[in-house]
Structure 1
């Protein structure tokens, strides 16, 4: 190992393929597809599974690009690392800065949504109690180590999948009791739906896939990362997408169309219809568990991105230090928890309006990184997978980016502008590249 300064901190390799895939699925929180079911159903005129199927196909192109870059650069840092190594260090910094908007604030949004669910069910308990409980528990688990967090995620995901299984089973029973067929094309396409409505729903559904890329932040804690991480990325996208499509299909069968008393709580309405009040309570518990598991994964990802940037010196060096006992990036974990306290003064719609700017910016540049790698050295690289696929990924991601709402674009551009100022400061007016450490493993 070589470095331009003293020997850097090193994360411990403890995770195998199942643990990494579990982390990605926990981040995606499959059950949350029901939390937005009513909104997507209204957008697609009642063809939610088609929206998720289209989103899955679109995201697989970007997932393939993440897999290629993870194999080529098996270190922490995700899009930030890939862009700075494949394109330019300055571009890498700006992409990393944009990704921080997503990674850094996403845990706050997750905790806020979880707190909102619980506050609605238990109005006598102040919302801040739930928020602080979420923040303290997830922060503690992440500081203790990735293996502790992995075990917690296993239990939480098991319960989440159990709730999903019950929801599907009750939906099937409801459909059969109504005398309807289980095999139908209606949930995918009908006379009232169009390609335009389905595409609009896919743009919303794509947000549910934000998480397959997060597994790349665990590269330095994964055994055989050049083989494990690319497989984990594709498996996470495929398994998560498969769950989304199947769950949306049976839910749409149980409740055809898009008419709900309240679109934002449509899943509770459906849960009550197919399983009564008792199952509705179990469903609420499942949603809260999904938020908790997703919060663990999101906070872990954010801290590891900050660890990579701190180790390189583009963030203060304290971010690049590990806890002496637990070997975790404790400063980034604690800071993410502290930022989560801002949720006490925000609502869900405001806090979620700007995080996707960073995600789609990162997706676009990871695809461009694959193209840059292919242009630099085409030896042994197939044109289809190294040129055509990433080009499709770029087009899809740019389409998603420019179709974000106005608030998201304004917040994102302001954040990017701040990043340019920071970059100018640390590069002395762009006259030198950002500081960098190099590692030969």
Structure 2
């Protein structure tokens, strides 16, 4: 066995080979290790893990006999119907979203059985997946989808160039609105199961240290691109999977640092409910209370403050993203570790009568408040949207991962791409999916 990638090598064939039993054992052990690491790093979390299903010999034979895999299924170009590249890139990202694909290909929303009266975006999505998995190779024109969006969102109607991110948010809202299970709160529609998270905002009073928390639902995260000087001490350096090549003043990690960094509020912006004082200093910090299965990032390249302009700065981003540092639960754990470290150092110094001793130094190192990656918060990149040209006359293209390979998607043109091309592109939107999905017992029982 090759250790770094766990590949099985046959000395007789002199090549790496696939073995069903070995693959099952490896995947089972990898899942167990992820659960153990998550439980140790988040001891208070009672999160049931998602377990993959592997077909036995009988099931595998039945699947092989009853199905036929077509080479181009799920991979198809989209016709540009007059400055509709903004829509085409979003539809391609929907098609290659693993959760949306699983939902619509399993007929959980069927256009033939839908009871929604009028224009239904869920039915349009069902038709879109049907077209992409029909085996047809010619480019597809999503006229019906465009017409339904025009009827549902009047601000998007017409042949003018639109912003891809605005179309993305509008499409999500329309699919949610026409879903049979749509609710105002705790919605179980496919959009909220896939994209919905909860952002936590903590405001700390500078006078009494009282913390007031507010929670806001989100479907995506918009990040500023303006770089700031990083501290020389390296305290804010992101550890783990966001390695040094993707760290720095022009990286996704740096954008997330700034997004979640504590900021001072103005003297008239906060009134403390505990000490009752007004006009005192306070700090505000954002973190992720609930992190969604699919993370969508918009990198804010377009500015409208001093006239319309576009930021062309290249932002480095990883293929595998560690969100541990930005979650509320992980930050709470980090604070408790830091408090334990300070308490330990205080007791050690008072007992020894000296600043530090060899024994205290070695023990304190085990209480390092930094956080290692938690498997639950590891995400894999599966789609990237790019914008070339000026703000009003530019063109949108996309990259998407399909069956382990990257493809360049430029309207009707579909071509194989390398990972280097993807990572070297000037991204406008990024899509990541959780590496380990949590199993939803509540909704599974309802279904």
TM bin, normalised by shorter chain, reads under 0.3
The one of the two structures with greater contact order (alpha-carbon pairs below 8 A, sep at least 6) is: 1
Q: Looking at secondary structure, tell me which structure has more strand per residue.
A: 2
Relative to the length of structure 2, the TM-score reads 0.25
Structure ranking higher in helix proportion: 1
TM-score (norm. length: structure 1) = 0.25
